[in-house]
Amino acid sequence: MHRPYCCSQRLASGQSLNLDHNRIVHIPPSIFSQASQLTRLNLNDNAITILVPSDLHQWRAIVELDLGANQLTSLPPEIRHFESLEVLVLTLNLLRFLPDEIAELSKLRILSVDSNQLEALPDDLSGLSSLQELNVSCNKLTTLPKSISTLSNLKVIKASENDIQEIPPELGNMGALKNLDLRDNPNLNSLPAELSLCTSLTILALENCPLHDILPDIRAGGSSMIIYFLQQVLQLRRRQTAL
């Protein structure tokens, strides 16, 4: 049974509003005019197709926003008005790209854009200085932008089930990265040796990636064996360069 859409008394006093599993097509601006303190909004599993740009200036207080399982095909540049946003869930939509302005969300800690149709991420993500977890699994990505390497707080990158063909060596600069999930990328044939410089990296998921440059026995040894192998490759390369 679908719950009632909303209630003005509930809006006026609450900081959280849960409207998931309904048939909402658009978000009425009255939500924010009636609830200036609203910080958490759950609109998961509705039928929303668009965020109206002229309404988004009212969203400045939002901290957590769940728009998963809707029908969004794009996000407007005005998303930059979400200046307090820490958690953004866009799972299971129809997004083909993200606006460059998403990088202006300097407080964002978690960004979930898995199960969309993304063909690329914005080139410059350096403004996402608080980001700790990025989930872009189940898309159509062929690479990750080099600018990800500047995100000093990023601990988890989930990029499985894409068409990633190369990993930028700059990712080796990511000292906080603990978990890199690259499973099920059928055209990922090699890894940069610089990944071994990620001092916190303990989970490197590579199942169902061809990785022709890494012997099956090494791959079978799991994350630690693969990272050790990459360390040896990098050391050998440096010795050869020094000659």
* Residues 164, 184 contacting (CB under 8 angstroms): no
Give backbone dihedrals phi and psi of 74, rounded to 5 degrees, phi first. -160, 165
Instruction: Provide the CA 79 distance to its chain's centre, in angstroms.
Output: 15
* pLDDT tier for residue 25 given thresholds of 50, 70 and 90: very high
Q: The pTM is what?
A: 0.92
Amino acid at 56: L
CA geometry: angle 13, 18, 22, nearest 5 deg: 135
Asked which of 76-80, 93-97, 237-241 is least confident by mean pLDDT, the reply is 237-241
In angstroms, rounded to a whole number, what is the distance separating the alpha carbons of residues 201 and 183? 16
Say what percent of the chain tops pLDDT 70. Answer: 93
How far apart (Å, rounded) are the C-alpha atoms in residues 146 and 167? 9
CATH number of the structural domain 8-190: 3.80.10.10
Cβ neighbour number for residue 77 with a 10 Å cutoff:
13
Q: Which residues contact 144 (CB under 8 A, 6 or more apart)?
A: 121, 157, 159, 164, 167, 168, 171
pLDDT at 58 over 90: no
